[in-house]
Amino acid sequence: MSVSLRIGIIGGGGWLGGAIAGSILDSDLVDPRNLCLSYRSRQPDRFPDSFWTKDNQELADRSDVILLSVRPDDWPFALDASGKLVISVMAGIRLGALSERHKTGRVVRALPNAAAEVGKSYTPWIGANDITRDDRAVVRAIFETCGSEDEVASESDIDYLTGLSGSGPAFPALLAAAMMRDAVARGLPAEVARRAVNTVMSGAGRLLERGNECPDDVVQTFLDYRGTTAAAIEGMRAAGFDAAVAEGLSAAFKKSVSMGAAS
């Protein structure tokens, strides 16, 4: 992929926009001078060799690819990106709405996650009919800089994955928080509990990543061992663990669909 590609990130000073900008610069996908970032209230100190502007139309005019990374409520109304490739990472906003508002058929809806900050996002995406083979290559190149990606078959898949992988980094944290609360309630010093739980989480992630195993197989291995782990898994399942996860993912899916309907 050429470093002469000009990329503009609207909301480049935000959590996700900044993480994507950092990844594409670290991997030399673009020359820093070909990266344009927009902000609203205060220009961030990051990426001093790139071009910052408050004017989103100026950003669009200077860029071949425009990445929209603002909250859906802040989605800029008047932005003419005629004929350009527009990639949105906004939860819920549908391809039809993107295409209509920005006057281009070359639109992509993508859903990275917070792990983009450490180059470990999983990003599903889908493009409108008008995107070209080169557009697909650009989308892949951008999201591979911050983790892995998949082109999916339908917008409904994106709505579902908005909860599963878009919100995903929150779920191990939720489990970790519950484990830590239990440990502290049982009298462990908070510092020890935190180190134990955080190390379990990062170690488990590394193990899954190394083997790329099916999680069900990993759980079954522990169940077959018939030790303390099996007792814990059975206790958690009996208390409704699987049902709680399914309920949460369903709530996220409904929220993503309703955000799209409101746009």
Ligand X SMILES: NC(=O)c1ccc[n+]([C@@H]2O[C@H](COP(=O)([O-])OP(=O)(O)OC[C@H]3O[C@@H](n4cnc5c(N)ncnc54)[C@H](OP(=O)(O)O)[C@@H]3O)[C@@H](O)[C@H]2O)c1
The tally of CA atoms less than 13 A away on the side-chain side of residue 80 is 2
16 token code pair: 């996700």
Helix (H, G, I), strand (E, B) or coil at 131: coil
Distance (Å) of CA 46 to CA 15, 17, 235: 12, 12, 47
Task: Give, as ranges, the residues between 53 and 92 that touch ligand X (CB under 6 A).
Answer: 56, 69-72, 74, 76, 89-91
Cα separation, 243 vs 241, whole angstroms:
6
- Out of 8, 11, 163, 260, the only residue in the binding site for ligand X (CB under 6 A) is 11
225 binds ligand X (CB under 6 A): no
13 binds ligand X (CB under 6 A): yes
CB of 117 to ligand X, least distance (A): 9
36-44, 130-138, 230-238, 248-256 -> range binding ligand X (CB under 6 A):
36-44
Q: Whole-angstrom Cα distance, residue 171 to residue 221? A: 22
Q: Contact with ligand X (CB under 6 A): which of 1, 31, 32, 40?
A: 40
**Of 68 and 128, which has the nearer Cβ to ligand X?**
68
Scored b (16 or more CB within 10 A) or e, 47-78 reads beebbbbeebeebbebbebbbbbbeeeebbee
253 binds ligand X (CB under 6 A): no
Q: For ligand X, which is the closer residue by CB, 78 or 185?
A: 78
| Binding residue (CB under 6 A) for ligand X from 99, 104, 113, 145 | 113
Question: Closer to ligand X at the Cβ: 106 or 109?
Answer: 109
CA 132 to CA 189: how far, in whole Å?
56
Q: Give the tokens for residue 28.
A: 């030399």
* Residue 38 or 104 with smaller CB distance to ligand X: 38
116 vs 193, beta carbon nearer ligand X: 116
Main-chain dihedrals φ then ψ at residue 81, nearest 5 degrees: -120, 35
Q: Of 32 and 76, which has the nearer Cβ to ligand X?
A: 76
Residues forming the site for ligand X (CB under 6 A) = 10-11, 13-17, 38-41, 56, 69-72, 74, 76, 89-91, 111-114, 166
